[in-house]
Amino acid sequence: MDSGALNDLDHRLLEALQLDGRAPFSHLARLLDLSERTVARRYQRLRGLGLRIVGQPDPARLGLVRWLLRLHCTPDAAGTIAEALARRPDTSWVTLASGGTELYCAVNTRTAGERNALLLHKLPRTPHVLSVSAHCMMRIFVGATSTWHATRFRPATPATPAAPAALAVDSGTPLTPLALDATDRTLFTKLARHGRATLPELSKATGRSPSSVQRHLDRLRTEGALHLSVDFDPQLLGYHMSTRLWLNVAPAHLRTVGETLATHPAIAFAAAITGTSNLVASGVFRTPADLYDYIDRQIGPLPGIQSIETAPTLREVKRLAPALP
């Protein structure tokens, strides 16, 4: 199904869900000036096309360190290695790029021991892995928990409120890691499977009353530890060119460039990282020509950019599958 099969109502519903993935159908109906029955019917249709609402932990808010791994493999083994990484509980997304010989993987680690077990022992000893580079994400400017934002693909409509804090540029203010109890951890596990799980369902899973569950949810969301993300194939909206951008930016301009990229509709993720390239971003475009225009007109004029490398995504092996706290 191509983007022509999705009408304006579908787009508006995706936008509204991005603003609050757990919003009741009654609230969505008022927001979109539609009947509750119509909203429920369109939501179920989108679910049939692959829509998922996923509860995701914010790594930094929970004391986790996020790494981006870049592996070069032999062509015959890249897919197998990608699948093996996707099965690990500490990876949140895995993609194949660059002719199928390069793959990217996001990993959350809590301790140096967890980090070293993977980076110093497991991966270097994996057959057919030619090289491994690990980049610590020092500052995530946009997309800390999501692969893309539905509200970014269409201009805001009068029925769509302003974007929430979850879509805003990261302020970078250090926060004390939020302590979790058994109820919180169970909620993360359940919401990772279905972010719109009902209070009775969550109450049964946690053994707590619905009012207690609601208090836990409110705390996790207010404290920025839990985000609800919309997962929907961009190709169904007409975006067929997903690309990783590796930039080398002069240190004096790193923050400015990162914060600017975070405001660009095409950019779903941008972070300052360690390594030769000090800024990485993920962009989604309709065509290769759109990617060219973006580099020429929006990346090119930015100050301090010394080099840029592009790597189109060939296949997303794992996405929006959070490493649980």
**Confidence label for 165 from pLDDT (cuts 50, 70 and 90):** very low
Distance separating alpha carbons of residues 142 and 239, to the nearest angstrom: 19
* pLDDT of res. 191: 95
Distance separating alpha carbons of residues 253 and 305, to the nearest angstrom: 8
Average pLDDT of the chain is 86
Q: What is the pLDDT of residues 16-25, one digit of tens each?
A: 998 899 999 9
Distance separating alpha carbons of residues 178 and 103, to the nearest angstrom: 32
Distance separating alpha carbons of residues 201 and 205, to the nearest angstrom: 6
Q: What is the mean pLDDT of residues 51-62?
A: 88
155 phi and psi, to 5 degrees?
-60, 145
> Per the structure block, which two tokens stand in for 285?
């475009």
Q: Are 238 and 2 in contact (CB under 8 A)?
A: yes
In the chain, DSSP finds a helix count (H) and a strand count (E) of 10, 10
Distance separating alpha carbons of residues 272 and 254, to the nearest angstrom: 8
Cα–Cα distances (Å) from 274 to 10, 133, 169, 209, 249, in that order, read 39, 10, 19, 45, 12
* pLDDT of res. 172: 54
pLDDT of 99 above 90: no
pTM passes above 0.95: no
* pLDDT of res. 322: 60
Helix axes 210-222, 199-206, angle to 10 degrees: 100
Q: What is the pLDDT of residues 112-160, one digit of tens each?
A: 788 878 776 788 788 889 998 999 999 999 886 555 554 544 444 433 3
* pLDDT of res. 126: 87
